[in-house]
Amino acid sequence: MNAFLKLPDLDNHGFDPFEVERLLHGAHEDPYPLIHEPAAKGPIHKLSYRMLYTELPDVLSDKENYLVLGYDACQEVLANPHLFANGGAFQYTIGRSFGHTLSVMDAPEHPKYRKIFQKAFLPQVVSKWGESVVEPVINDLIGAFSGRGEADLIEEFTHHYPFQVIYRQLRLQPEQAPIFHRLAIAQLLGSIGAPEGPEASKKLGAFFEALIEARRADPEDDLVSHLATVEADGGRLPNDVLISFLRQLMNAGGDTTYRGTSVLLTGLLTHPDQFAAVAADRSLAPQAIDEALRWEGPVTSTWRYVSEDAEVAGTRIAKGAILNVVLGSANRDPAKFENPDAFNIFRERSIRHLAFASGPHVCIGQHLARVEMTRALNGLIDRLPNLRLHGSKPGPDIRGHQLRVPKHLFVEFDAAGSP
């Protein structure tokens, strides 16, 4: 444990990064009609995704933006990194928050470092974390409300669950958890000019730098020790790359999994017949997870930079433009998915969804995300008999246009110890 390492909180203790983040990602109940309308007219439009929902500018608003809609066009962009790069787009967004991380890199640098990081997230590695790391977190969180007969699964479970998994992977002190969560969310706000963004990034960076040095001096059996001591072309990972990766892990491994798990539970509990089918046959869990990711993926749109004059879906686009690759449009493309706006775990699965993107920048933590979502679903079914939506409280309301999640998921169940 790291008793000598303390992470300082934001100087402004009254600042609520969670509320600011919710405002940043909007409160749209259903963004898909605004996605489907231009998609029906064609795959490419000279417009930014953000401008579909708000006139408030962001850090990419002064660039030439194009919407990329539909499965085939999105896949075309994601599969051609030599034409449509990450760095020219993400340096203005998450690069400001995380630093020189994988998402900001392009070849040849990106494959060099991704190969090293990826070894820590292979299926055979993360499957071992299921018992040793993920299961104890699930038991602790559910145990806090299983005797009550009701709960808010967002506020009491999914909002904390994947972050708690990360804390255990990093072997961090439990009392540091609330500060870590605040800083992990606050660091994203630098892209909109909030001073708490750079402050959070700096404090997390200093903490991780000290943690890396401690693990190199005295390695343990944990993720940081592995990454701090692994050899890369005869040398260790540069500190700036490793620190940036750990900063991003707090969000990529925490925030998106929180959203994915929340949407999975929302989809199933609002379709009781499908929830009952999964509860009776756990082999259906993987297809339920895939359907949740397709239906309401954690990230609705991502970006790519046009690195040279190119053509996308028959449209010429000049070098320097920003492509808004609308993953939500790909995953709800009626040419690929029948009745795409419906949640249906029994739909034909011949087409792979793009919730984790595609190509060389496909989500490095997707295997861990699946392990966490599977364990969470099974744990709730096993520990909360007769789990159902609360009969007298509002139903879940998924909101947002960029990152989507319900604010509450009120449920009832047979309390532990009840007849």
Do 120 and 227 touch, CB atoms closer than 8 A? Answer: yes
Instruction: With a cut of 90, say whether residue 54 has pLDDT above it.
Output: no
CA 116/CA 125 separation, integer angstroms: 14
**Which residue type is seen at 251?**
N
More confident residue, 76 or 125: 76
* Residue 191 maps to a domain: yes
pLDDT at residue 1 is higher than 60: no
| Dihedrals phi, psi of 213, to nearest 5 degrees | -65, -40
pLDDT at 232: 67
Looking at residue 181, its pLDDT comes to 87
Residue 13, domain member (yes or no)? no
Cα–Cα distance between 285 and 176 in angstroms, integer?
33
What b/e readout covers 18-57, taking b as 16+ CB neighbours within 10 angstroms?
eebbbebbbebeebbeebbebbeeebbbeebbbebbeeee
In a domain, 56, yes or no: yes
Q: Does residue 419 form part of some domain?
A: no
State the pLDDT at residue 253. Answer: 79
Q: How many structural domains is the chain composed of?
A: 1
pLDDT in tens, 272-316: 999 999 999 999 999 999 999 999 998 999 999 999 999 999 999
Evaluate whether residue 17 is within a structural domain. Answer: no
Report the candidate in 68, 32, 70, 29 with the shortest Cα–Cα distance to residue 48: 68
Question: What are the tokens at 398?
Answer: 């998924």
Radius of gyration from C-alpha coordinates of the chain:
21
Could you tell me which residue, 414 or 124, shows the higher pLDDT?
414
Domain assignment of residue 126, yes or no:
yes
User: Over the chain, what is the mean pLDDT?
Assistant: 91
pLDDT band at 3 (very low <50, low <70, confident <90, very high): very low
Task: Report in angstroms the alpha-carbon separations of 4 from 166, 345, 398.
Answer: 19, 48, 41
Domain of residue 204 covers: 22-412
Measure Cα distances from 281 to 6, 115, 286, 402 in Å: 45, 36, 11, 33
Token pair 């072997």 is at which residue?
171
Domain contains 324: yes
Q: Is residue 11 part of a domain?
A: no
Helix axes 17-24, 177-186, angle to 10 degrees: 30
Residue 118: CATH number of its domain: 1.10.630.10
Alpha-carbon span 218 to 19, nearest angstrom: 39
Residue 408's CB: how many other CB atoms inside 10 A? Answer: 16
